[in-house]
């Protein structure tokens, strides 16, 4: 798919809507049951509501959110950013926000590991614009997200106090009664409830539970997938992954989805963690790992047969992996795995509900003969293997209809059933544009923002190690240029990296400006995103050439060129004293998938002095860039838990170099005599902390 194609918010909104009322369902009937996917769906909904749903068409809107889990809080955070006048009320059934994962130390959350081996699936950070989090125990992720929510509420409280307005977010927990129905006489939704008022940050409030009633302009149902039909609950703490302190224990695991297979793996593999296990097994056997990845890429239907073929084709490596796994098989447990398919091999076939990683691990565990598969009834298995009820693990899915029917009127439940096909099509792929949730209002409103806001706006997640590395490099370049710059004039140097959010490739400022005589706004730029087609950095990106302003170029000519390059749509107005600009693209090597060379980053330099760098001086800067790139490309080998992870291959849909207008050529030249810096292998600037070594080693 072309990464530059604009998404249609109306089409996306239709996959959330009940149609008969301004009520929207987030992810109750979709595949991909992960915290990350639910957060993405919540953000997709708010994007489509703002752009196509009329929610941003003026006036204060009352919006109810049913469910205080990850989806509900993410939707609320997005509404706060996009709708300055919205009044938001969150209703949570249980005693705390994020109730399922709160205090859960037995489960590990990773944003994208279920997408393995897709690009970016090993990145341990969700990279979300709001309520972002890093892979960790469920309880730790909950604490991190709640910390971000509380910081957002603190900032909102200060803003409300400054504007002398009422609290915009109300929270009710222990909502033991909630009923939703439509009013035929008006386009609003009526809610009645009994619950405990809480502080907006989720903290306690000394106010008794009481009943309430109100009309809302919009209702967002973030009730999730519902509670499991069997026990023990997936999110409750257990001892299954711990060594037995008594005799050998027997267990029955019933359910062949990801939840059931994860519990099988926890019970059978010592010190199992789903984010590390593949690296621990496949370290130094990359040919075998690549063969498994190819089976996924080729969408092989009979994966069991294909896995057997791969094992036969790589006997030595496959034996080595099995030996590593056999040494990890637990001796204090015996597991009977109950399944319902005609053949055990069907569990990893094309129609299986398992993620690809779990299919590989299930196959390896089967090859080790580590568990006992059976199709017999649970009662028979329990009697035969002397398994008590506390050791029977049922993973039979959830019933989302129950969670919705508990709060919706009969006619609204009928609307849910009519909308079921559309609701199942909600995508967990990012639909919004980079930086969208960093400013209020619709996308078109962004162009009207004052320069003061543009110094901080359109930010996306930026890894700390990347920012630190870029900052030190830019400081070095600035120091080298100091002797050429007039001492009382401003000199700025920064680095932008090419990055993809969803399917949009853009340029992100990786650090605040380095240089001399800087202004306050120059300290706020780290994380900002820019179109790859705008400004001088966009010109360098598109042309794959170094962009240099002409010597002694008049300011009005430079300003006209920047206007032609749409600078002010996404950035502050250029200082009218700027006399020199240089933009240097960092190229990746040309491959069969890319033409022209992908651009991994763009170095930007400007100054208010009349400094002009000659061809030879530009070559010196390029030499520094090449040396820096050569040094850091493999630097992950020397850094503890900091890796340069490739998120998504950039430049595959790169447009050909655009024609340059006369107004631009009057101010800038595209240098042919000096070649841009280039790496020897594909490179993406994304150094980040990772708690485990990526499968196959660092990039």
**Percent of the chain scoring above 90 in pLDDT:** 55
Mean pLDDT value across residues 310-319: 94
What is residue 318's predicted lDDT score, i.e. its pLDDT?
95
Q: Which residues contact 651 (CB under 8 A, 6 or more apart)?
A: 498, 505, 588, 594, 597, 598, 599
Note the helical H segments in 394-524.
400-405, 410-418, 420-423, 451-454, 464-481
What is residue 123's predicted lDDT score, i.e. its pLDDT?
84
Mean pLDDT value across residues 91-108: 93
d(CA 301, CA 516): 60
The answer to whether 222 and 67 are in contact (CB under 8 A) is yes
pLDDT over 50 at 212, yes or no: yes
Q: How confident is the model at residue 79 (pLDDT cuts 50, 70, 90)?
A: very high
Mean pLDDT value across residues 470-477: 96
What is residue 549's predicted lDDT score, i.e. its pLDDT?
94
Mean pLDDT value across residues 301-327: 94
pLDDT over 70 at 163, yes or no: no
DSSP three-state, residue 390: helix
What is residue 180's predicted lDDT score, i.e. its pLDDT?
94
Mean pLDDT value across residues 559-585: 83
d(CA 461, CA 467): 11
Give, rounded to a whole angstrom, the gap between the first and last alpha carbons of the chain: 25
Distances (CA, A) of 332 to 244, 259, 269, 335, 391: 6, 22, 11, 10, 14
Q: Which residues contact 483 (CB under 8 A, 6 or more apart)?
A: none
83-103 b/e (C-beta count within 10 Å ≥ 16 → b): beebbbbbbbbeebbbbbbbb
Q: Which of 122-131, 161-170, 344-353, 370-379 has the highest mean pLDDT?
A: 370-379
Distances (CA, A) of 229 to 164, 268, 663: 47, 24, 67
Nearest CA to 147 out of 164, 163, 130 is that of 130
| Stretch among 182-191, 241-250, 324-333, 655-664 having the lowest mean pLDDT | 655-664
Q: What is the dihedral of CA 384, 390, 395, 396, to 10 degrees?
A: 80
Nearest CA to 16 out of 183, 181, 219, 215 is that of 219
What is residue 5's predicted lDDT score, i.e. its pLDDT?
44
**Residue 662: HSE in the Cβ half-sphere, 13 Å Cα cutoff:** 0
The answer to whether 478 and 516 are in contact (CB under 8 A) is yes
Mean pLDDT value across residues 454-465: 79
d(CA 238, CA 407): 31
pLDDT in tens, 529-551: 888 888 899 999 989 999 999 99
pLDDT in tens, 643-693: 887 777 776 666 666 678 888 899 999 999 999 999 988 888 999 887 766
Angle between helices 303-313 and 315-326 (to 10 degrees): 110
**Residue 430: HSE in the Cβ half-sphere, 13 Å Cα cutoff:** 18
Q: How confident is the model at residue 595 (pLDDT cuts 50, 70, 90)?
A: low
d(CA 90, CA 152): 15
d(CA 595, CA 589): 10
Q: How confident is the model at residue 570 (pLDDT cuts 50, 70, 90)?
A: low
The answer to whether 615 and 674 are in contact (CB under 8 A) is yes
- Residue identified by tokens 């749903």 is 53
In DSSP terms, which residues pair with 548 in a beta bridge?
A: 582, 669
Q: Which residues contact 309 (CB under 8 A, 6 or more apart)?
A: none
CATH of 451-689, one of 3.40.50.720, 3.65.10.10, 3.30.450.40, 3.20.20.140: 3.30.450.40
- HEC string of 130-187 equals CCCCECEEHHHHHHHHHHHHHHHHHHHHHHHHHHCCCCCEEEEEEEEEEEEEECCCCC
DSSP three-state, residue 591: coil
CATH of 9-227+399-423, one of 3.20.20.20, 2.160.10.10, 3.50.50.60, 1.20.1430.10: 3.50.50.60
DSSP three-state, residue 272: coil
pLDDT over 50 at 2, yes or no: no
* Beta strands at 169-182 and 136-137: parallel, antiparallel or unpaired: unpaired
| Stretch among 279-293, 425-439, 465-479, 651-665 having the lowest mean pLDDT | 651-665
What is residue 691's predicted lDDT score, i.e. its pLDDT?
72
Q: How confident is the model at residue 593 (pLDDT cuts 50, 70, 90)?
A: low
Residue 148 has phi, psi (to 5 degrees) of -70, -40
pLDDT in tens, 423-439: 999 999 999 988 889 88
Mean pLDDT of the chain: 88
d(CA 309, CA 478): 56
Query: Any idea what DSSP says for residue 351?
Result: T
9-227+399-423 shares its CATH topology with 451-689: no
pLDDT over 90 at 639, yes or no: no
Q: Which residues contact 245 (CB under 8 A, 6 or more apart)?
A: none
What is residue 575's predicted lDDT score, i.e. its pLDDT?
79
**Percent of the chain scoring above 70 in pLDDT:** 91
- Residue identified by tokens 């853009």 is 506
What is residue 287's predicted lDDT score, i.e. its pLDDT?
87
Nearest CA to 198 out of 171, 174, 167, 166 is that of 171
User: Residue 215 is inside which H or E element, if any?
Assistant: strand 210-216
pLDDT in tens, 121-136: 888 899 999 999 999 9
Give the residue extent of every domain in the chain. 9-227+399-423, 249-394, 451-689
Mean pLDDT value across residues 79-85: 92
**Residue 251: HSE in the Cβ half-sphere, 13 Å Cα cutoff:** 29
Cα dihedral across residues 210, 213, 219, 221: positive or negative: positive
Query: Any idea what DSSP says for residue 524?
Result: S
Nearest CA to 358 out of 263, 280, 291, 288 is that of 263
**Computed over its alpha carbons, how large is the radius of gyration of the chain?**
28
What is residue 1's predicted lDDT score, i.e. its pLDDT?
34
What is residue 656's predicted lDDT score, i.e. its pLDDT?
62
d(CA 71, CA 65): 10
| Stretch among 111-115, 310-314, 359-363, 602-606 having the lowest mean pLDDT | 111-115
pLDDT in tens, 603-629: 999 999 989 999 999 999 999 999 999
pLDDT over 70 at 494, yes or no: yes
- Residue identified by tokens 């341990």 is 124
What is residue 454's predicted lDDT score, i.e. its pLDDT?
57
d(CA 445, CA 413): 37
The answer to whether 507 and 437 are in contact (CB under 8 A) is no
**Residue 195: HSE in the Cβ half-sphere, 13 Å Cα cutoff:** 28
């Amino acid at each position: 798919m072309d990464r530059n194609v604009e998404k249609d918010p109306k089409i996306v909104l239709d996959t959330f809507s009940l149609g008969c009322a301004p009520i929207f369902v987030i992810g109750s009937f979709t595949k991909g049951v992960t915290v990350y996917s639910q957060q993405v769906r919540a953000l997709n909904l708010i994007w489509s509501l703002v752009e196509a749903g009329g929610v941003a068409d003026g006036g204060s809107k009352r919006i109810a959110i049913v469910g205080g889990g990850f989806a509900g809080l993410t939707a609320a955070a997005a509404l706060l950013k996009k709708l300055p006048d919205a009044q938001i009320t969150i209703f949570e059934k249980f005693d705390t926000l994020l109730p399922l994962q709160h205090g859960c130390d037995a489960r590990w959350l990773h944003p994208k590991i279920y997408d393995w081996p897709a690009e970016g699936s090993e990145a341990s950070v969700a990279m979300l614009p709001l309520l972002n989090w890093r892979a960790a125990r469920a309880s730790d992720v909950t604490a991190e997200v709640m910390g971000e929510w509380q910081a957002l509420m603190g900032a909102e409280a200060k803003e409300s106090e400054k504007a002398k307005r009422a609290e915009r977010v109300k929270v009710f927990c222990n909502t033991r009664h909630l009923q939703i129905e439509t009013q035929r006489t008006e386009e609003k939704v009526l809610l009645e409830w009994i619950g405990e008022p809480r502080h907006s940050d989720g903290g306690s409030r000394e106010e008794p539970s009481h009943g309430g009633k109100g009309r809302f302009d919009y209702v967002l149902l973030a009730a999730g997938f519902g509670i499991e039909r069997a026990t023990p609950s997936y999110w409750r703490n257990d001892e299954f992954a711990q060594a037995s302190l008594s005799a050998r224990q027997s267990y029955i695991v019933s359910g062949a989805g990801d939840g059931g297979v994860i519990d099988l793996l926890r019970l059978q593999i010592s010190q199992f963690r789903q984010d590390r296990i593949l690296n621990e097994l496949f370290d130094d056997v990359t040919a075998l790992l690549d063969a498994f990845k190819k089976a996924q890429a080729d969408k092989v239907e009979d994966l069991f047969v294909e896995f057997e073929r791969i094992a036969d084709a790589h006997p030595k490596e496959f034996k080595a992996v099995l030996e590593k796994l056999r040494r990890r098989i637990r001796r204090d447990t015996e597991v009977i795995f109950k399944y319902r398919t005609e053949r055990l091999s069907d569990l990893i076939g094309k129609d299986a509900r398992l993620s690809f990683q779990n299919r590989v691990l299930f196959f390896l565990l089967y090859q080790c003969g580590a568990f006992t598969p059976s199709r017999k009834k649970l009662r028979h298995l329990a009697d035969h293997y002397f398994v008590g009820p506390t050791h029977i693990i049922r993973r039979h899915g959830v019933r989302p209809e129950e969670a919705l029917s508990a709060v919706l009127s009969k006619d609204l439940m009928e609307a849910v059933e009519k909308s079921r096909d559309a609701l199942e099509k909600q995508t967990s792929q990012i639909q919004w544009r980079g930086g969208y949730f960093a400013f209020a209002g619709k996308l078109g409103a962004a162009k009207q923002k004052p320069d003061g806001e543009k110094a901080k706006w359109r930010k996306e997640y930026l890894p700390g190690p990347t920012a630190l590395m870029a900052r030190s490099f830019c400081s070095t370049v600035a120091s080298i240029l100091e002797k050429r710059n007039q001492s009382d004039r401003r000199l700025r140097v920064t680095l932008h990296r090419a990055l993809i959010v969803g399917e949009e490739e853009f340029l992100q400022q990786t650090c605040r400006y380095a240089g001399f005589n800087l202004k306050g706004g120059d300290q706020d730029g780290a994380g900002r995103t820019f179109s790859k087609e705008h400004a001088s950095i966009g010109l360098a990106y598109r042309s794959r050439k170094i962009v240099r302003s002409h010597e002694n170029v008049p300011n009005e000519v430079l300003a006209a060129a920047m206007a032609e390059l749409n600078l002010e749509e996404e950035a502050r107005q250029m200082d009218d004293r700027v006399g020199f600009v240089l933009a240097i693209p960092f190229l990746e090597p040309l491959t069969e998938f890319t033409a022209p060379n992908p651009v991994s980053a763009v170095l930007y330099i400007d100054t208010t002095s009349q400094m002009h760098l000659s061809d030879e001086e530009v070559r010196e800067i390029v030499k520094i860039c090449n040396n820096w790139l050569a040094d850091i490309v493999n630097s992950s080998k020397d850094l503890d838990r900091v890796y340069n992870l490739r998120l998504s291959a950039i430049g595959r849909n790169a447009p050909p170099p655009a024609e340059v207008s006369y107004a631009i050529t009057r101010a800038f030249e595209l240098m042919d005599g000096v070649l841009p810096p280039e790496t020897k292998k594909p490179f993406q600037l994304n150094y980040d902390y990772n708690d485990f070594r990526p499968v196959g080693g660092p990039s």
